[in-house]
A and B are shown apart, each in its own frame.
Chain A
């Protein structure tokens, strides 16, 4: 079965510090996409970053970067220079085809 596991239900980080959110997934597919979504209190789901499995290079988007380890089936999100606006639920998602499977989320708190 294809699953996505986020082992950290909650995390806290000091403003301006760096934090890493973990995600592992289980699949027998070789080609797929991985995503991190942010859901702030407004409830809106916002795409943060995505990674194509066949690309070795880790994706980066400004302060957000991933550490994609295909063999280990690991896809962690690093947030640098954390800002108060980064406080949200973060969901890791795996998509091999039309379906998308989400992890249970990590709630990130930013401490001023």
Chain B
């Protein structure tokens, strides 16, 4: 019954590694997002996809590459992980673009880079 799911929930890895976080939504939504919440709890949008097309690409290092194989999935791949990448990453989805569409968040993935 989970609306927006993320795997894994916890990810601990070494600096320099490449890792992926997967996100899936079963709500039939067209738009999906990735957010980063840092250690001070500050939440910031990273990417947004609508119907598999990139809509928002905030100032994020190009080591971060989102991939949307279909409308229901938006995965986040991170190359050459750095200490500063440690954070909680949230996936979200909404019915469509536009500010009136409620966003539904996944449970978050806590990434720890050692």
Name A's B-contacting residues (CB within 8 A): 32-33, 39, 42-47, 50, 52, 89, 91, 95-100, 102, 104-105
> In whole angstroms, how far apart are the Cα atoms of A88 and B48 in the complex?
26
- Surface stretch bound by A, among B20-28, B37-45, B61-69, B76-84: B37-45
A–B Cβ pairs within 8 angstroms, 25 of them: A32-B99, A33-B99, A39-B41, A43-B88, A43-B108, A43-B110, A44-B108, A45-B43, A45-B92, A45-B108, A47-B103, A52-B100, A95-B99, A96-B99, A98-B48, A98-B97, A98-B98, A99-B48, A99-B56, A99-B58, A102-B43, A102-B44, A104-B42, A105-B41, A105-B42
A45 touches B48 (CB 8 A): no
Which residues of B14-57 are within 8 A (CB) of A? 31, 40-45, 48, 55-56
Minimum distance in angstroms from B56 CB to a CB of chain A: 6
Contact B90–A97 (Cβ < 8 Å): no
Contact yes or no, A104 B100, CB < 8 A: no
| Cα distance, A32 to B98, chains bound together (Å) | 10
Q: Is the interface of A mostly helix, strand, loop or mixed?
A: loop
Known: A98-B98, A99-B58. 19 other contacts (CB 8 A): A33-B99, A42-B107, A44-B105, A45-B43, A45-B90, A45-B105, A45-B108, A52-B100, A95-B99, A97-B98, A97-B99, A98-B31, A98-B48, A98-B55, A98-B99, A99-B48, A99-B56, A100-B45, A102-B43
B70 located at the interface, meaning its Cβ lies under 8 Å from any Cβ of chain A in the complex: no
B11 to chain A, nearest CB (A): 14
In contact, B107 and A91 (Cβ under 8 angstroms): no
In chain B, what residue has the closest Cβ to A104? B42
B contact set with A: CB distance below 8 Å: 31, 40-45, 48, 55-56, 58, 88, 90, 92, 97-100, 102-103, 105, 107-108, 110
B56: which A residues are within 8 A, CB to CB? 98-99
A104 to B37, CA, bound (A): 10
| Residues of B contacting A102 in the complex (Cβ-Cβ under 8 angstroms) | 42-44
By a CB distance below 8 angstroms, the chain A residues around B92 are 45
> Do B108 and A91 touch (CB < 8 A)?
no
